[in-house]
Amino acid sequence: MATVTLHGNEIHTNGDLPRVGSKAPDFTLTDRDLNDVSLGDWVGKKKLLSIFPSIDTPVCALSTKKFNDYAREHADSVLLMVSADLPFAHKRFCGDEGLDNVLTLSSMRAPEFAANYGVQLEDGPLAGLCARAVLVLDENDNVVHSELVPEIGQEPDYDAALKALG
């Protein structure tokens, strides 16, 4: 179990984020067109997973935009934005913002995703949603960067994540 904060108040996660050097757990999530996709769909590619509470909050929206800007110039990597939001919210947000370089994925059919990745918030006003975290995986799904953002309202360390992505 890890501890993060929301506006300075402690909140606990259900476990720990996968550590650098470990194999990322497989998943099946739902894309914005209601298709199920799994980690294996991007075998052989570097992947960044930006995990967050909701696309409809300022920091989540901002980080999605920043990662989209990076992805525009780096087609060799896949940037996956993961939340419990419905695919319809992801599609609306990306359409409104003109984002087409990141892939948004919903855990609506896979509540085990947050549990398996150790990011499920166990208490506080966002209980049941995901904590903010960034993972970078190599072409074989080994974790090369792992960040659980200590304050949910804080942006992730973009530079460290993007450096790890290469």
What is the enclosing helix (H) or strand (E) of 83? Answer: strand 77-83
Catalytic residues, by residue number, are: 60
Cβ-in-10-Å burial (0-12, 13-18, 19+) of 15 comes to middle
Q: How far apart are CA 51 and CA 116, in angstroms?
A: 13
Phi-psi region of 124 (alpha: psi -120 to 50; beta: other; left: phi over 0): left
Q: Which residue has the tokens 């992801």?
A: 90
Q: What is the DSSP string of 124-166?
A: STTTTSBPPEEEEE-TTSBEEEEEE-SBTTSPP-HHHHHHHH-
